[in-house]
Structure formats: structure tokens, C-alpha cells
Structure 1
Amino acid sequence: MNYFGILHKLFTLFSASTQRWAILKKHVGITLKMWTDTRWESKVKSVEPLRYEAAAVREALIEVRDHTKDPIIKVEAQSLSEEVGSFRFSICTVVWYDILSQTHHVSKLMQSPSMQVDVAVSLLNRVEKDLQSYRATGFVTAQMAAKDICEEMNVEAVLQQKRLRSTKRHFTYEASDEPLSDALKKLEVTFFNVVVDAAASAVRERFSTLQNVKEKFGVLSNFKNLQDSELQKECETLQTTLHFKGHSDVDGRELVQELKNFPDLPSKSMTLLELLTFIHEKELAEIYPNLWTALRIGLTLPVTVAGAERSFSKLKLIKTYLRSTMSQERLSGLSIISINYAVAEQISYDDVIDEFASKKARKVKF
């Protein structure tokens, strides 16, 4: 069973009984949370109690084992208490919490409605560097933190060494494999490196996509430092980017002249939002229409699919047993309306209702 499978069993064991949940609340100050695949924040919240109150969780499991009369619950509580008290589990807890906490804050910031592409790129770049640094020294620090957790639980901080399996060689000239005999080294290679590399790869993929977008709109924030030839090239690239069906939202040649004649900025390093605010406050939109349009397009680009994590919670509310035969198209439409309810409240549905009523009318005119 993997790490999050154990967390799921922990939550299920305590939440299935009010008596067992009361025992948990008596020992643990941080409530156990259920983790889901759809909500990134739930993973951090599910690991947090075991990161800071692992000894209390283990005490709660031992009390459940001693007071329950159900033999199945007794065996499960004993098994989970041994798992939580193991050095391997403590290392996994520290590693997962360190990685998830680093990415969690950036994930929350990127879901902000006011998040900008250039700011998102800098945040992802910082997270990628932090993960690379953590890969180099994180396993050693995780061992130290896990030893402190084991001391609180009064258990020995030693990894159980499994017996190495030997495979029969069919030919004498075959080279023998060199299995990892050190348990800590094996855990670092098979768990720590794999998890950190997967997290860094996901961040790097997101970073490369947003970096490509930032480079196309980078001329809007860096035009004061560009030569005429570079400025001309960047503006033409932006015009091509915003070109659709024979029409472009900006004119590259006019944008070059607007950027050359733009007044001095109050700061050399301004974000796109600060630049747009400057143009709005100085009432320069009519003088620099191409720059005004390009800035608004760049600032309204989606940085992340913030609604993806929340769509499943809406799905549970919409697709009940009464709507089990609903088509996918109608379900998607209702989900969009439910997620964007603030916009939906401002839309008039009179024409849609009239059209629907006319098609569904049971009257026949003679």
C-alpha cells in the first residue's frame, strides 16, 4: 500500500465511528483530513497532522486498539500504529509535506483572479529552483526531522532491512545485478528521487508553457531596454501571435512607434498590470491604442485552470440520482453556469426560455 493509501485508511478508521473520532480529537489538535485527487490543497491538509502530531495520532490508534471489541478494528488499529511508528513512514511524511507545502502556496497564488503571466512565470521559476535545491539536500534534512518524530513516539529510528532476493542466472556470462543493500540509499533512490523529480517535471512543464507566452508579450514590459531592430522584431512577433482569420488585434508597425514615443515610466521594472494602470490613470488609451489593446489581452490570458479543482465538487451537486441520464453536453453546460454563477446572475434568459417553450409546446394550431 502506498503512502496516501495509509492516510486514507487512517481517516476511514476514525471517521467511521463517533467514538473513535472522539478519541482522535482528544489526542490530536489538527483534524485529520480526507485527501482527494481533484483538490491539491487536500493533500497538504491530510499530511499535516502526521507531520506535526504523529505521536498523538499513534497514541489515538493505540487507545482505539485497547478499547475496541471488534477484532477487525483491533487488528487494523494495531497495523496502522506500527506503520505510523515506523522510521520509513516518518521520512515519507516529511518529504511529502515539504514538497506539497512548497507547491501549495504557488498553486493558491496562481488561482488568484488577479494573477498575471509574468508574475506566474517568476513564481514557477522559484519553485523549480527550490525543488532542485531540495533534491540535493532534502533527504538528509528529512532524515533528521524523521528522527525527531521517532523520538517523540519513543520508537527506534531504524529502517527495516529486507532480505535481498537472488535470481537464478541461466548463463554464466550474464552480469549479476548490483542491488542496493543500504535501506536508506534504496529509499532515497526508489522514493525520494522519484517523487522530487516528478514534482519538478510537472513544474517545469507548466513553466515552459507560460514562459513561451511571456516571451511573446515580453516586449510590453521590456521595450525601454530594446534596440530598434529588436523592438521591430518583437512587435511583429506579437502581431503574428494575435493574428486570427486574416485580422490582427494590433498593428506591429504602429505599436513600434507607440512604444518609442511612450513617456518615461515611474519605475524601470513594472508589471503589465502596473503599466496598464499607468495608461488608464494618465488617460493615454486613445493615444496608444495598440499598446492598450495588447496589454488588456496579455492580462486576461488564463494563467491556470483554476476551476478544474472545483468542477468535481459542482459535479456532485448537479449530477444526482435524479439526473443520472443527463447527457454530457447538458451536464457540462450546467456545470459552467454553476461555477460561474456570478456572471450567470447578470444574464437575461428570457429569449432562451421563450425559444424552449415554443419548441416544447404541446399545442397544435389548426
Structure 2
Amino acid sequence: MARQTSASGFDNDDIVIATHPHQPSAATFRFPKQSYGTKLRSFQPSWFEKWPFLHYDETNDAVYCHTCLSAHFMKKVNIPTADDSFERIYKLENATVSFKNHEKSACHRAATEIIISLPSTTKDIGNLLSKEHATSKRRNRAAFYHILSSIRYLARQGLAIRGHGEDSDGNFIQLLRLKAKDDDNLSSWMTRKDNSYTSPDIQNEIVELMSSHVLRVIANDLRKSPFLSIMIDETRDCVNTEQVTVVVRMVTYEFDVHEQFLGMYGVPSVDAQTLTTAIKDVFERFNFIFNKLRGQCYDGASAMSGAKSGVARRILEIDPRALFTHCYGHSLNLAACDTMEQIKLLKDALGVSFEITKLLKYSPRREGIFLRLKENLPESTATGMRVLCPTRWTVRADSLASILENFQALQETWQESIEVAHDTETKARIGGVEAQMNTFDYLFGTMLGHMVLRHTDNLSRALQDKGLSAAEGQQVARMSLETLKSLRTDQSYELFWLNVNKKAEELEIGKPMLPRRRKRPRRFEEGEDGYHHETVRSYYLQYYNETLDVVINCIQERFDQPGYGMYSSLESLLITAALQYKHADDDTEALARYKFEMEEQLERVRAFYGDDFDKEKLRGQLVTFSLHFQKNTEKLEKVTIFDLRRYSSSLSSADLVMPATNATSERSFSALRRVKNYLRTTMSQKRFNNLMVLHVHKDYVDSDLDLDVIHDQFVAKSENRLRLFGKANEVQ
């Protein structure tokens, strides 16, 4: 108990300061009411829960700060610098405002720190006031968790955190203000002028902690994988900076395949030396071992796949087992482009189609005319027009299909558009497109292109599966090639020819005609005449067969890669092991030959992979594999490398770790354009990379990003933070 007179002259002789603040309940004490204007007001007991430091004086119907009075009576506070905390700190008409202001005052903070740091000799008061401090930390921590969760949400969704100009206009502050409407504690926190922990520097620190936490989880998983593959690609962002994306592929012991994005790295140039250095830096940062690298997958740029000094060659010099595969998605795209370039009829048709989509999609007026006419057609479809993109992998067939489905609406659109066009150039373009669309050659070329691209687009979609390996990609490609080869028959062409003529008749397009026979130059008058088609059917049959031949050959050439040779050896080893028992009973000489071939192929595989496989263990697995097919002879003709997965985990991991495409890198470019757009060009590379990690790895942010861990890492960097927030699971 203590009695004191305040510096302001207020007589505190009746104030009793015990070890605990006096906080009577409504059940035991009737708080007196005072008249304020036309209303009667009284102290509310619920205030004790929000502000535990309140000390109620029943005699004077006054409220004091128990913390500040305790520090003052112990002569721990200089009275001339104290505020009116030693007297009444409230008036009934604005009590809660007074309590909030006092809680944030310098005097109260100083008294709280002093009381909490009291030695053990004054433990009675220290224990009491530590409860108040613990309550204050819990409130501070609850407000800070709102800050953490808001940043996590915005980063996960790829949304801007800061605003343009004033930070108060940004998504982060506005999201906190929205939450504060339902949380008085957060609302009080947001009124702090200092140390509100919402500044851009704090945002960067929190984002970095979250990103590092996600990457640590991913890196730990990658280090457990027996083998790894590397995939990189580059693009330019909106500020003309070369961004290199790094993706690592792994295989678990349960044969689950994962492709993990590790970040974007700004580089000064994209030459082979710089990109190789970037890969080495990533392996060093994440503590990966190059001896685990069994695959590389890049595009066909010379810096990546150059035979003499490309990235693939430089990595192979480090470890020859890191087989290189030119991304099958890029290879298929190039094969389709080669086909369209070599067949003149297709090249012209795609050129006209590209001009159609440009005239329509880049003019709101013409597109409005098209949509109006399309709605008025009796058999209008819901399919709209799609731009014929020359670089996308899987949209060309859809673009040609949209033209064929909206052919009549397009024809009417050109007739109306040419009347409202003003400049002669636009009129000429519209007139040229209209004239080309009314020719049989364009219709035939468009339908033929759609037929071919439909199959290549389906193959491309299948190849983009994250779990697909290079060997499986080859198998899928062979299936697509068989489908294309099946179209090169007279029956298939007859059906296609009938469909084209039926479509031409519906659209009132002119009938097909043979080209005019050219006169032979005089210098070539001697000798036999060249071949001339007698019918239009045979004339267009030549284009049909030539297109299928070219696309089949282009795909075969693009997919016949040196890196696949070892997978072919593995497949040959399996087939030989399976077939050796086919002649076990009736052909001893054939059995001996198969055994010799299996040993020879086994030695070739073991010599390449070295200590990855134990020769004797692998031989035993192959024997088990052979016995399986001895009992299931009907499967002998369908033996592939995939059949070994249940018998050899090491071979299966080496097979699965090699990706078919670099599609994950391409997907990260889409995320890049969401995270770093023209309104967010001033962010640093470090902040951008951290935001990319959180945006790409949404599943990890949802499942593995523990805010308690982030909180403790954040407060551990400063004693002031630790005093303000405490530990996440701190028990008082």
C-alpha cells in the first residue's frame, strides 16, 4: 500500500496502490452514475478486460493506471516528465479514447518496461504487471498476424502490395483497414504513428522470410531425390530485363514426379557462359550435387543446345550422364511450322487466316459488326473467333476451326465492313481477304491445316503433362505418328474430299479447277512432257499426301534426338530380356543368342550410368522381368521401358527424371506477366523473385507456410520486436 501526491498537485492520499489493480465486478459493486447533459453515464466493467492496467478508486469514482502509479511510487519515473496518468485518465463521455491514448503514451510504455524489468526482490509487483505486459503482447501479436496473413494472401494471388504514390492506396493497407472494421484491436493498431510494422521495408522482409521458408521445404525434398533434371528458359520482362527461370525436376522413391520452380534470375545477357554460371550458382545455393544431375531440357536456341559450346554441352562436360533433350513441345512446334512453310497451299491459307483474325480482333468496329451478324444467323454457334498465334503451341487448330465455323458470318462481315471503311489500304485488305475466302484453294487448305494441326495440338497437350518423361513422350509421339500415317489412305482422302466439297457447296464457293497448264519454255522443248493431273481430285490429292508426308517426316526428325539413344538402349535391353524365354524350350541356339545380346546391352547401360546401378542386382531384376513375360507371352509384342518400373526402381528413376517438355518454365512466364506488369516496374529483383516463388507455389503457401514460424523468425531479429510481440506460442 502507498499514498502519494502527484506533481500536478492532485491529492492522492486516498489512493491505495496494492499488488493488484482494484477491479470490482458489477455483481459486487454498483458503479455510480454521473450526469452529463441529459444522459447519465457510469463506468463499464467490460473495460477491465480490454485494458487490464485500469485501477478503480471506489471512494472518488476515479480510474488510474496501476502500472504508471506503481512505477511512480517506486521512484522509477521522473514526475516532471509524467502525464496526467497519476490522476484520473478518463472522462465518462470519452473514456475509451482516453484509455487508448494513454496506452500508446510514452509514459505508459516507459513504466511498463521498467516494471517488467524489476529484480526478483520486487517480484510481487513484477508478476502482477507482467500479466499486463503479456496481455499487451498478445494484442500486438494478434494485430501482427493480420499483417502476415494479408501479405501472404496478396503474394499468393500475385496482387500488388503497395499502391502507386501513397502507400495508403495500396492493396495491403486497404486490406488491413477492411479487417480492422471487424477487429477493434487491429483498428487501434492501425492508428499508431510509429512502429506499426506496415512499411515497405517490413513488407520486403516478411515476403523474403515467406519465400525462403517455401524454398527450404522444396530444397529439402529435392535433396532426397536420387536423381535430378534441370530446365531453364529465358524471356524479357516489361522493363527489358532478361529473366531466366530455373526449374528442377525430381522423382520420389514412390515414383511421383515433381517439377519445382526455384526462381527468376536477372542476367545481363543470355549467352551460354552466363546461363551455365546461373545453373551452377543455383546448385551451390541450394546445396544440390551435380553428380545427381541426369537430365537437361531446354529449347533449341544455339546458346542452349549448341553442339560445341551451348549450355547442354557445358553441363555434359561436368557429368556425361546429364542427358540433353530438346523440349518436345518446342520440337513439335517447329515441326508444324516447317510443314506449313513447305506446303504452299497451307502457307497461303494460314497467311490469309492470320490476316482475317487481325482485321477482326484489332478493330472493335468490325468485331461488333461480326458479332451482330453472327447472332442473326439461323444456325449461330457459341464459338467465337480466336487469333492465329504463330508462337503458341496448341491454339492453331482452334483458330482455324473458329474460321470454318463462322465462315458465313465472316463473309457478310467483309461486305458490310468495306462499305464503312475510309482509307484505301483498309478497303484493299478487306477486299483481298474476301476474295481469298471465296476460293476453293483457301477452303481446302484451311480444312487440311485444321485436320493436321488438330492432331499435333492434341500431341502437344499430352506432352505438357508435368509427370510425363522423355521416354513416355517418345511413346506418345509414336502413337500420334501412327494416327497421321493412318490418314494417308485413299479411303481417308475420299472422306476428306467429300467433306470439303460439301462445305464449299454450303458456302457457295466456286468449284475446284485445275491450274492452267503452262507452256514449256523453248529451251526445254525436247524430251517428254511433265506430269499433268487429269482431274481436280488427283490434283488436290497430291497436296493431301504431301502434307501428311512432310508433317510425319518433320516430327520424326525433330524427335530423333541423340539423348534418346540411351533410353532406346534401355528399351532394347528389356525387349531382349523378355524375348529370351520365348525360345527357351524349342530353340537353344536362339536362347543363347538372346542371352549374349542381353549381357552386351546390360554392359552398355552399366558403362554409361556407372555406379547408379549395381550390375548383379540389375541382372537379377531382369531375370524376374523375363520370368514375368514367360508366363504372359501375349504381352511380348508390347514390351516398353514402362514395364520395368515394378522391377527396377533405379532404372525407373533414371527414366522418369528426364522431362518431355519445358512447359513448367513457360507457365512461370505467364506468372511473371501477372506479378511484374507495367504498373509494377519499380520493384527490385529480390522482391520480384520472392513474390514469384509465393505466387507460383500456391500449394506450398497453403499447406507448408506456417505463420507461427514466420512470426518467430521476424521477432528474433530484434530485442524490441521480441518485447513487443513475444514468441508465437508464448505462455504467460
**TM-score w.r.t. length of structure 1:** 0.70
* Residues 262 and 134 of structure 1: CA distance in aligned 2, closer, same or farther (over 3 Å): closer
Deviations 1:33-85 (A, max 9, x none): 22233212121122111333322322332232345455443443232222112
Q: In the alignment, is the contact (CA less than 8 A) between 2:366 and 2:417 conserved in 1?
A: yes
Q: Partners of 2:665 and 2:487 in 1: how far apart? A: 28
Distance 1:2 1:67, change over 3 A: same
Q: How many residues align?
A: 320
Are residue 123 (structure 1) and residue 476 (structure 2) matched? yes
1:232 and 2:599 equivalent? yes
Match of 1:159 in 2: 513
Q: 1:151 to 1:314 in 2, by over 3 A?
A: same
Greater Cα shift, 302-311 or 20-29: 302-311
**Matching residue of 2:727:** none
Q: Report the counterpart of residue 617 of structure 2 in structure 1.
A: 254
How is 1:46-65 mapped onto 2 (pairs within 5 angstroms)? 46-65=399-418
User: Which residue of structure 1 aligns with residue 433 of structure 2?
Assistant: 80
- Counterpart-to-counterpart distance in 2, 1:263 and 1:225: 7
Displacement after TM superposition at 1:88 (Å):
1.0
- 8 A contact 1:24–1:57 mirrored in 2: yes
For the pair 1:294 / 2:651, whether they are aligned, the reply is: yes
1:177 CA drift (Å): 4.9
Larger radius of gyration: 2
Residue 200 of structure 1, aligned match among 552, 555, 573: 552
Which residue identity lines up with residue 497 of structure 2 in the other structure? Q
Q: Give the unaligned 5+ runs of structure 1.
A: 280-290, 325-329, 347-366
2:356 maps to what in 1? Answer: 10
Unaligned runs of 5+ in 2: 1-346, 375-379, 581-593, 702-732
Query: What's the secondary structure of 1:32's corresponding residue?
Result: coil
Change (3 A) 1:262 1:143: closer
The alignment partner of 1:37 has SS state of coil
- Please say if residues 239 and 252 of structure 1, whose CA atoms lie closer than 8 Å, have aligned partners that are also in contact: yes
Q: Note the C-alpha offset of 1:238.
A: 1.7
For residue 21 of structure 1, report the CA deviation from its aligned partner. 0.8
Cα deviation, residue 99, structure 1: 0.7
- Aligned match of 1:359: none
Q: Which amino acid aligns with 1:201?
A: N
Query: CA distance change for structure 1 residues 233 and 253 in 2, over 3 Å: closer, same or farther?
Result: farther
Which among 504, 521, 530 is matched to residue 178 of structure 1?
A: 530
Please identify which structure carries the higher helix content: 1
CA distance in 2, matches of 1:162, 1:202: 31
The one of 354, 371, 384 aligned to 1:25: 371
Q: What displacement does 1:319 show?
A: 10
Greater relative CO, 1 or 2 (CA 8 Å, sep 6+): 2
Give yes or no for contact 1:38–1:312 (8 Å, CA) kept in 2.
no
Alpha-carbon spacing, 1:9–1:309, altered in 2? closer, same or farther (3 Å): farther
Measured at CA, do residues 200 and 149 of structure 1 come closer, stay the same or move farther in structure 2, by a change above 3 Å?
Answer: same
Structure 1 counterpart of 2:654, one-letter code? I
Q: Which residue of 2 aligns with 1:242?
A: 609
Change (3 A) 1:174 1:264: closer
Distance (Å, rounded) in 1 between the aligned partners of 2:665 and 2:554: 16
AA of the residue aligned to 1:242: Y
TM-score normalised over the length of structure 2: 0.38
Q: CA deviation at 1:10?
A: 0.5
* RMSD, matched Cα: 4.2
CA 1:162–1:311: 2 relative to 1, 3 Å: farther
Amino acid across the alignment from 1:13: L
Question: Counting strand residues as a fraction of each chain, which structure ranks higher?
Answer: 2
2:496 to 132, 137, 142: 142
- Note the C-alpha offset of 1:313: 5.9
Q: Deviations over 1:237-264 (max 9, x none)?
A: 2212324xxxx31132331023335797
